[in-house]
Amino acid sequence: MEKQITERYGADEAKIVVGDYRRSLLEAIPSDHLLEYAPVASALRRDPAAVAGP
């Protein structure tokens, strides 16, 4: 799914939040599209309004 997002949308149009408990996806997401990377559940505490954008 990340491939379709990064191919279709520019970094200013789409950001990706990754919950990666196995720690295998960090290199799969281009850094310009990565909003947040969380290797543990407690790190995924971003404010939903911040993720939604304007």
Asked if the model's pLDDT at residue 43 lies above 90, the reply is no
* Residue 26 banded pLDDT, cuts 50, 70, 90: confident
Residue 42 DSSP label: G
Sign (positive/negative) of CA torsion 48, 27, 25, 9? positive
What is the percent of the chain with per-residue pLDDT over 70, rounded to a whole number?
Answer: 81
Q: Is 37:26 a contact under the CB 8 Å cutoff? A: yes
**For residues 38 and 44, what is the distance between their CA atoms, to the nearest angstrom?**
6
Instruction: Give pTM, 2 decimals.
Output: 0.71
Residue 12: pLDDT band (50, 70, 90) is very high
Which positions ≥6 away from 9 have C-beta within 8 Å? none
* pLDDT, the chain, mean: 84
